[in-house]
Amino acid sequence: MPTPYAESRPLPPYRALFAVDAKDFTGLPALQHGPVSLLIPQLVDQALERAGLHELRDSKRFPASTGDGVVFGFDPASLPFVLWPFLGVLDDILGAYNRQSVGPRIRLRASVHVGPLPDTDSPGDGNGTARNDTHRLLDSRPVKAILAAASEEVTHLVAILSQRVYEDAVLGGYAGLHPDRCVEVPATLEGRTFSQRAWLYVPSPSGNLLQAGVRPREDAARQTDAPVGEEGQEGREGQDQGAATPPTTHYSGNTQRVGEGAAVMGNVGRDINYTSGSTSYRGTNQHWGGGDNVAGDKRVGESGDHR
């Protein structure tokens, strides 16, 4: 057993990691657990194929099934392409499957991280802090809260990116994913000391995610080419006339109360609490940054309806 800090050793190679878990898997009848466990890696591979990541699909490092999902490592050079277009393609494939399936809906949480991990074709490959954090990000409160609050008809995937992934691939400009499409959140776990800065990306936002300025991929692409002055004037005219705020309009206030959907914020200073039954989603101590800030409560359903 190696002794830490006793001597210097070579750092293991950096590996990017991708993991997904299915929402409400444990609530499925036992009869469906096996088929769903087999289906999820098939959908992921189909998305890799359609996104043009054939080599990544065939060269996964230390892949493993988690029962309700999959996890695998890969060359960090492919990280920008996993963020864009793969996550969007996976969301499209999940949506197409859910629309035609007579079985349970498959809605996924995904996490993307990068860090040093042993990769020597030996037992124990892929085990380390980076892998542990990948799973903790996947199980963190924000990603679960957003997926639970979003429309099951529209939002099929919610991804959480680690700070390192966001800085290196998104802010670095290597990915086709614009930073404005990511929302900063504190990734925390119930009953754990784990707490990290992370970023949410929702390929197909719905409900109040749209009202809060989280834009669909096609809208974001169109707005990139729109003159900034025209867009801002258009949004202000709509507000001055009392019209409903369009999804692409940036909010100028720092508080909004929402009646249905999910409350979304730009930068979050502390924690996100999500409970349901009447479902409530609350963001606290929000700090203005590059995104849109919405503070308030979201309530859906009758009393006693818990999720």
- Domains (ranges, CATH) in the chain? 14-206 (3.30.70.1230), 212-287 (no CATH)
pLDDT value of residue 281: 36
> Which pLDDT score, from 0 to 100, does residue 24 have?
87
Residue spans of the chain under pLDDT 70: 208, 210-307
Of the candidates 30, 20, 266, 263, the one whose C-alpha atom is nearest the C-alpha of residue 139 is 20
pLDDT (0 to 100) of residue 249: 29
Q: What is the pLDDT of residue 212?
A: 57
- Written as one letter, the residue type at 60 is K
Residues 6+ apart with CB under 8 A from 15: 61, 73, 74, 75, 76, 114, 115, 116, 117, 119, 126, 130
The gap from C-alpha 51 to its chain's centroid, in whole angstroms, comes to 18
Note the pLDDT of residue 215: 62
